[in-house]
Amino acid sequence: MKRAIIFLCVASMALLTGLFLSLGVLVSSYHHPPRNADVIVILGGDQGRRLQTGIQLYKQGYADKIILTGIDRKYYNPDIPNWRERRLEEQDIPDRNVVVDLQSQTTWDEARNTLTAMQANGWKKALVISDPPHMLRLHHTWSRSFADSDYEFILVATKPEWWEPMTWWQNNLSRKYVLSEIRKNIYYAIIYY
């Protein structure tokens, strides 16, 4: 009996340790290489890495339209481009190829509003750009939002220098993102799924 209890304790600890160590892989495993699409969706909430990835994909010809999300309508003035719009202009991306989403406040909103924009514009496929630790939540949220449609999204991850899914706990920024995403995934599972 004592051996069985010790074995169960050791097995449980090994399982929990393995689960903990694999969280980085879990939260980042749903991204794919880019493919040709109709629109590139650059999600808000970053300092420029997502924008730069979107610009690269645009310049490489993966899509000729861009949606910028995560812009607070209270502070938006269409006559004064925000920093992301200015960066697109600096890269010679015409305003007519850029849609600014002022409605979305959450990941769920971004998915639903992008689907609406795709339907309105006849776009069938979107490349969705975000950072690696967000991929699990994006996958579930966008899959739910697009479930009853024939529209498609492809998650494309940025390549931040601080991200390593196998050793995520060793970097303060990675650790912060992974733990935050675990909480957000639980919240989204309860509220949206």
Q: Would you call 63 exposed, middle or buried from its count of C-beta atoms within 10 A (0-12, 13-18, 19+)?
A: buried
Q: Could you give the CA distance from residue 151 to residue 89 in angstroms, rounded to a whole number?
A: 29
> What's phi and psi for 52, nearest 5 deg?
-65, -40
Q: In the chain, pLDDT over 90 holds for what percent of residues?
A: 74
CA distances to 76, 105, 113, 185 from 52, rounded to whole Å, are: 21, 22, 22, 26
Domains and CATH numbers, the chain: 2-191 (3.40.50.620)
pLDDT digits (tens, 9 = 90+) for 108-164: 999 999 999 999 999 999 999 999 999 999 999 999 999 999 999 999 999 999 999
Q: List, for residues 40-50, the tens digit of each pLDDT value.
A: 999 998 889 99
pTM: 0.89
**CA–CA separation, 58 and 67 (whole Å):** 11
Neighbours of 84 (CB within 10 A): 22
